[in-house]
Amino acid sequence: MATSNHQTPMSKQHLDKVLDAQRKAYYNQGIPSLGQRLETLNKLLGILRTNESAIAKAISNDFGNRAHQETRLAELFLCIDGIKYTRKRLKKWMRPQKRSVSMWLLGARNTVVPQPLGVVGIVVPWNYPLFLCISPLIGALAAGNRCMIKMAANSSHLSQLLQGLFAEQFSEDMLTIVPDAIGSEFSALAFDHLIFTGSGASGRQVMRAAADNLTPVTLELGGKSPTIIAPDYSMTKAAERLLFSKCINAGQTCVAPDYLFVPEGKVDLFITAAKAIVGSRYPDIEHADYTSIINDQAYRRLKSTLADATDQGATATALVPNSVANNVTRKFPPTLLTGVTGAMRVMQEEIFGPILPIMTYQHIDEVLDYINGQDRPLALYLFSDDKAMQAKVINKTRSGGVCLNETTLHVGQQDMPFGGVGESGMGQYHGAEGFMAMSKLRPIFKQARFPSLSMMYPPYGKRFDSIIKIMLRS
């Protein structure tokens, strides 16, 4: 497990000092222009493009091993694509919006202007440390804010790298990573907006801390995302797609398929397909293409979760031939679980690893009843070409997002908002929604030179009564 090079955490006094400097710069330098915001985004883009290899290496060091290809696909590409998408549309997003005016206020004008909130705090988890840092940062910077970022302790190599790269391009009062900040102290700062990605338990603590400052929060909290294969859909095709998302990053993904429903009588068909698919992709889990579990604690938790299930009667099927969990490299084999029950921890907690429980159903209503009996998930996945089935599942469930005939890819769509609902989070970002989430839509009313309202000033009399009578009936 990687450890930070810093001996002591950044003090509360230092955090307050950085926040105060950013807030003063926000007021003293005014709202940044389109050109200034584009320059900031271009600097960020330059950092990513120039340091691709160093970033991938740092992330791999933090995990113990993660394929550079996975970092380039799931993190670097999405970050770069997000910046390019935002640059093209920022001028439109910043444009003042004309709004209608009451017909009784002749000559007046209404305008809504997106303005930056001020200073945005971003708490970044370890599982996709670059993407979950840069993605909300894009929206915050595009909206004209200044940002303080707290990286996860498990991301010490990447944190140190980004801290230095950011310092070369940005002043501390504009954008900075605060090294080794204590989470509770960071969340308690009087930010103008706070974005947190992590567990539900930590999310509650963050929200409590933010409440003291009335700081609005965006929480992305994960959860148990269900996957359904409908009777009309190919088991092999579904397995090819969902197992890619389940195995990438060794399942350490907040929107990874967490449990699977297949039609009764088709479990063996799915297992056969899954063995062939995963075995061809990862002939050996010690291969560099397969990611290590982030630390010993998470590795032991997965072993314990699997043991709890098998001790209670579940059957485990390893998908990579001759693979066993390795205590040294923290490689944990992709594993299917059948015969699971609600009493098992694997069906109660977010798995966050390469274990996939399978349940069967006879009718889709059984599946919907089960899903609706759990906390609302961050994502829901359905494999079906039946439009009636698609509509039924979408209309009768609630989740942060949905994929049809695929999993996880909705997260990488720049023109769609991303966020949870209920236990899986609140608020959303990405694209235009991210820009708006980190902006204040400031309404501006401009009165006409000769206001029609003057006809209703006191002293009230017959003219007022006549006018208000017409207004109330119009």
User: What is the average pLDDT across 324-345?
Assistant: 97
Q: What is the pLDDT of residue 8?
A: 66
> pLDDT tens digits, residue range 136-162?
999 999 999 999 999 999 999 999 999
Same domain, 249 and 212: no
Whether 187 and 264 share a structural domain: no
106 or 380, greater pLDDT: 380
One domain for residues 361 and 381: yes
Rounded to 5 degrees, what angle do the CA atoms 453, 459, 460 make?
Answer: 70
Domain CATH for 368 = 3.40.309.10
User: What's the confidence (pLDDT) of residue 9?
Assistant: 73
pLDDT exceeds cutoff 60 at 455: yes
Find the CATH number of the domain harbouring 53. 3.40.605.10
Residues 251 and 268 both lie in one domain: yes
Same domain, 118 and 242: no
Alpha-carbon span 123 to 184, nearest angstrom: 11
Mean pLDDT of the chain: 95
2 in a domain, yes or no? Answer: no
Euclidean distance between CA atoms 79 and 51, whole angstroms: 13
- Residues 6 or more apart in contact with residue 402 via CB below 8 angstroms: 379, 380, 381, 382, 394, 410
Are 342 and 234 members of one domain? Answer: yes
Q: In this model, does residue 193 exceed pLDDT 70? A: yes
| In a shared domain, residues 213 and 241 | no
Nearest to 155 by CA among 119, 199, 123: 123
278 belongs to a structural domain:
yes
For residue 183, being part of any structural domain is answered with yes
| 3-class DSSP string for 339-380 | CCCCCCHHHCCCCCCCEEEEEEECCHHHHHHHHHCCCCCCEE
Task: Among 413, 433, 466, identify where a domain stops.
Answer: 413
- In this structure, the answer to whether residues 108 and 122 fall within a common structural domain is yes
Whether 434 and 367 map to the same domain: the answer is: no
Residue 310 pLDDT exceeds 80: yes
Structural domain contains residue 404: yes
- Distance, CA of 15 to CA of 148 (rounded, Å): 9
pLDDT, one tens digit per residue, over 337-390 is 999 999 999 999 999 999 999 999 999 999 999 999 999 999 999 999 999 999
Average pLDDT, integer, range 316-343: 96
Predicted confidence band of residue 4 (pLDDT cuts 50, 70, 90): very low
Q: State how many domains the chain has.
A: 2
The residue annotated as part of the active site, out of 79, 147, 254, 403, is 254
At residue 414, the pLDDT reads 95
The pLDDT assigned to 224 comes to 97
pLDDT on residue 3? 38
pLDDT tens for residues 240-295? 999 999 999 999 999 999 999 999 999 999 999 999 999 999 999 999 999 999 99
- Active site (annotated) includes residue 220: yes
Q: Is residue 166 part of a domain?
A: yes
- Band of the pLDDT at 5, cuts 50, 70, 90? very low
Q: How many CB atoms lie within 10 A of CB 373?
A: 8
Catalytic residue from among 220, 247, 350, 403: 220
**Same domain (yes/no): 293, 435:** no
Give CA–CA dist 199/211, Å, rounded.
18
- How confident is the model at residue 6, as a pLDDT? 47
Per the annotation, the verdict on 433 as an active-site residue is no
Which domain covers residue 361, as residue numbers? 225-413
- 103, part of any domain: yes
Mean pLDDT for the stretch of residues 28-48? 97
What predicted TM-score, i.e. pTM, was given to this entire model?
0.94
Same domain, 80 and 94: yes
pLDDT at residue 2, rounded to an integer: 38
Tell me the longest C-alpha to C-alpha distance in the chain: 93
CA 310 to chain CA centroid, Å, is 32
On whether both 249 and 205 belong to a single domain, the answer is no
